[in-house]
Amino acid sequence: MARPDYLICLECESEVEDFVWREGEIRRATCEVCGNSDVDAFSLPEEFEQDMDEEVEDAEGEEDEEDEDDEESEYLDDHDEDEEDEEED
């Protein structure tokens, strides 16, 4: 794999151009913004974008589940109120 132009710091999501790339992997990198120097805490730009896309999809899926729960809860609340009204009559 060719040396990328930059890496993404996973601590602060900054672009990092100062790094050592050898044999297709990061050997040394330092983020000038946050000081991160853990080579495992850097990502290739395309891998970072893919991970971000997956996180967005996961978050959207969770929102859909919450919306379904809210609708069910509203139905149950309305149904409970109807039963209370019938008991009062």
Rounded CA separation 86/89 (Å): 5
What is the tens place of the pLDDT at every residue in 13-45?
Answer: 999 999 999 999 999 999 999 999 999 999 999
Centre a 10 Å sphere on the Cβ of residue 74 and count the other Cβ atoms it contains: 10
Task: Give every CB contact of residue 30 below 8 A, 6+ residues apart in sequence.
Answer: 16, 18, 19, 36, 37
State the pLDDT confidence band at 49, using cuts at 50, 70 and 90: confident
Determine if the pTM surpasses 0.85.
no
What is the tens place of the pLDDT at every residue in 56-67?
Answer: 888 887 776 666
Indicate the SS3 state at residue 74: helix
